[in-house]
Amino acid sequence: MTEQTLAERAVWRDTERCYRAVAARDSRFDGQFIMAVATTGIYCRPSCPASTPKQQNVRFYPTSAAAQANGFRACRRCLPDAVPGSPDWDIRADLAARAMRLISDGTVERDGVPGLARRLGYSERQLGRVLTAELGAGPLALARAHRAHSARLLIEMSGLPLTDVAFAAGFSSVRQFNETIREVFATTPSQLRAASLRRRKAEELPTGTRLSLRLPFRKPFDAHGVLDFLADQAVAGVEHVTRDESGVTGYGRTLRLAHGPGVVWLTAKDDHVRCDLRLTDLRDLSSAVARVRRLLDLDADPEAVARVLGADPALAPLVEAIPGIRVPGAVDGDELVLRALLSPAEAASLADELGERLPRCDESLDGLTTLFPTAAQVAEHGPERVAAVARALAGGVAVHVGRDPVELRAELLAVPGIGPGTADYVLMRVLGAPDVLLTGDPALRRGAAALGITDDEPTLAERGRAWQPWSSYAGMYLWRAEKGE
């Protein structure tokens, strides 16, 4: 399936389908499109509990920014931005999708639109034209919507003074902050906080740079599988895991962020993931949340995956037994490349030797003491086997979510020590590429054999064509089969 075909099939373009989802209040479509009501001037998530508007009064948009650009404000009842992100950004690798990933990571706040365009390899004019055509808004409007969402989180989930919230969310002035909140939410920052305090009653708001957030996901969500995968490869000090008789109960790790290190602790709940954050600087909030969401693949569309993979007789029993499987992502591209070349024990030794030590965390985040070393540090002091790769990373091979997968793969393969399997693994985890089948991985092949999928006829690669565009998820099922699950 080509990128153009995927763009043409974007859900928001099918107005009849969108309206049926709104009429059914179908939460599976939350985050996939925005519904705006012309008679009220409000935009909502598809599952908003308010009365369903008449079809002739409804407009559909791909993003909140597009709705805002057309004069609509956010519904305060359904909070349309507090939903999983669009799975389009997982499937597509075109310019619009790559730009959205970087905007979510806070690139515009840190580097401006020129920096965003530079990282994507386009001129500002080209970038603006494509984003407006595809997403209904240019990069500044998209970043503004992202700042408004970050600001609402800080207003409602922290006790930070509102002036500090303005700059932490990425606004250049308090006046710009106040105007944006009024335009997007039709209320003032102080009124938003007062309403939040009434809802939370006597619950104490966290202060300073500690936050506790609820990260939504599309059900079903195989929390056990993704946390277990991360736990199996955990590096002591950089990551920490808690377990009980049922398996992994919590996972935490350190984060290297633009304005200083951070620490995150994740606990899966029935309808959300609890995310406890400790940041050096709250300006890194949106970046930290975006990276955690990618790490757990929270924006995936599990029903779309199940429809394709469940049609394969060999995979169908596993798809039914393990609904909502996810492909673990990564919080740092360079780190993922280096760790892909090392065993967990070797990675732990490297981190212990070269990693930056953090001040002791509070008790709830204990065990997280070290940042994984940068590519530059490994290039200078690491073992030669990975130092050569680290020199390439430090010298210009940029591994981040805004990269074109074809171009990144070619650059990785040009680095001595990186083979096709490693390059594909990086695309799958760093870029979230959904259609990567690691046919050379021994564990994956053993899992295929356990399901009766062999290299007789057809070959594994040929069998995998039926799994497109979800081959990465099929690979996760094969890994689980190898473990006997």
Torsion angle, alpha carbons of 55, 61, 62, 64, to 10: -120
Bond from prior residue into 46 cis (ω within 30 degrees of 0): no
| Per-residue pLDDT tens digits for 421-438 | 999 999 999 999 999 999
Could you write out the three-class secondary structure of 373-442? CCHHHHHHHCCHHHHHHHHHHHCCCCCCCCCCHHHHHHHHHCCCCCCHHHHHHHHHHHCCCCCCCCCCCH
Task: Report helix angle 95-104 to 107-120, nearest 10.
Answer: 150
Task: Report the mean per-residue pLDDT for the chain.
Answer: 89
Q: With bands split at pLDDT 50, 70 and 90, how would you rate the model's confidence at 356?
A: very high
For residue 371, what are the β-bridge partners?
356
Q: Are strands 73-74 and 42-44 parallel, antiparallel or unpaired?
A: parallel
Both tokens of 146, joined, read 């992202």
Q: With bands split at pLDDT 50, 70 and 90, how would you rate the model's confidence at 326?
A: very high
Q: Annotated catalytic, 441? A: yes
Q: Which whole number is the average pLDDT over 388-398?
A: 95
CB 231 within 8 A of CB 248: yes
pLDDT value of residue 433:
94
| Cα–Cα distance measured from residue 286 to residue 147, given in angstroms and rounded to the nearest whole number | 8
Amino acid identity, position 370: T
pLDDT at 241 over 80: yes
| Cα–Cα distance measured from residue 286 to residue 293, given in angstroms and rounded to the nearest whole number | 11
pLDDT value of residue 202:
42
The share of the chain scoring above pLDDT 70, in percent, equals: 93
pLDDT value of residue 153:
84
Instruction: Say how many CA atoms lie within 13 Å of 67 toward its Cβ.
Output: 31
Range with lowest mean pLDDT among 69-83, 336-350, 415-429: 69-83
Q: With bands split at pLDDT 50, 70 and 90, how would you rate the model's confidence at 207?
A: low
pLDDT value of residue 27:
85
pLDDT value of residue 1:
40
pLDDT value of residue 9:
53
Q: With bands split at pLDDT 50, 70 and 90, how would you rate the model's confidence at 29?
A: confident
| Cα–Cα distance measured from residue 310 to residue 45, given in angstroms and rounded to the nearest whole number | 29
| Cα–Cα distance measured from residue 451 to residue 457, given in angstroms and rounded to the nearest whole number | 14
The share of the chain scoring above pLDDT 90, in percent, equals: 71
Q: Annotated catalytic, 455? A: no
pLDDT value of residue 248:
83
Amino acid identity, position 480: R
Q: Which whole number is the average pLDDT over 262-272?
A: 93
Q: How far is CA 78 from the centre of its chain?
A: 22
Q: With bands split at pLDDT 50, 70 and 90, how would you rate the model's confidence at 293?
A: very high
Helix (H, G, I), strand (E, B) or coil at 16: helix
| Per-residue pLDDT tens digits for 213-230 | 889 999 999 999 999 999
| Per-residue pLDDT tens digits for 120-170 | 999 999 999 999 988 889 999 999 998 998 898 888 877 788 998 998 888
Range with lowest mean pLDDT among 11-20, 295-304, 393-402, 404-413: 11-20
CB 180 within 8 A of CB 65: no
Residue bearing the bigger pLDDT, 363 or 127 = 127
Q: Where are the alpha helices (DSSP H) in 10-138?
A: 15-23, 64-69, 88-91, 95-104, 107-120, 124-135
Residue bearing the bigger pLDDT, 283 or 456 = 283
Helix (H, G, I), strand (E, B) or coil at 25: coil
pTM over 0.75: yes
Which residue in this structure is represented by tokens 């995310």? 275
| Cα–Cα distance measured from residue 442 to residue 174, given in angstroms and rounded to the nearest whole number | 56
Catalytic residue among 90, 301, 332, 441: 441
Catalytic residue among 44, 75, 78, 275: 44
Q: With bands split at pLDDT 50, 70 and 90, how would you rate the model's confidence at 93?
A: confident
Q: Are strands 58-61 and 34-37 parallel, antiparallel or unpaired?
A: antiparallel
Helix (H) or strand (E) holding 121: none
